[in-house]
């Protein structure tokens, strides 16, 4: 099975860049539903433990946005 190519992003062109900072919220999640997250199931990986991160996005105009994965 070969991977499908990613769809085009269709993002407009820009000369502006943003600063992105990762924020460790120190929150960790544990799930017994690992079998629903990846396939085929992997012996020894029946549970999934993962960190919940947030991201601070800073635009040169001074605008700021926090994107939270939790």
CB count in 10 Å sphere of residue 52? 14
Residue 12 has what pLDDT?
92
The band of 50, judged by pLDDT with boundaries at 50, 70 and 90, is confident
In the chain, domain spans:
19-68
Q: Is 34 a residue whose pLDDT tops 90?
A: no
> From CA 12, how far away is CA 34, in angstroms rounded?
37
**Mean of pLDDT values over 27-56:** 80
> From CA 58, how far away is CA 21, in angstroms rounded?
8
Q: Is 31 a residue whose pLDDT tops 90?
A: no
Q: Is 66 a residue whose pLDDT tops 80?
A: yes
Pairing mode of beta strands 19-31, 64-68:
unpaired
Residue 40 has what pLDDT?
80
């Amino acid at each position: 099975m070969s991977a499908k190519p990613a769809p085009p992003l269709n993002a407009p062109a820009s000369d502006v860049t943003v600063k992105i900072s990762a924020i460790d919220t120190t929150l960790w999640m544990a799930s017994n539903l690992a079998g629903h997250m990846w396939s085929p199931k992997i012996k020894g990986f029946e549970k999934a433990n993962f960190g919940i991160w947030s991201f601070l996005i800073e635009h040169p105009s001074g605008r700021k946005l926090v994107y939270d994965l939790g």
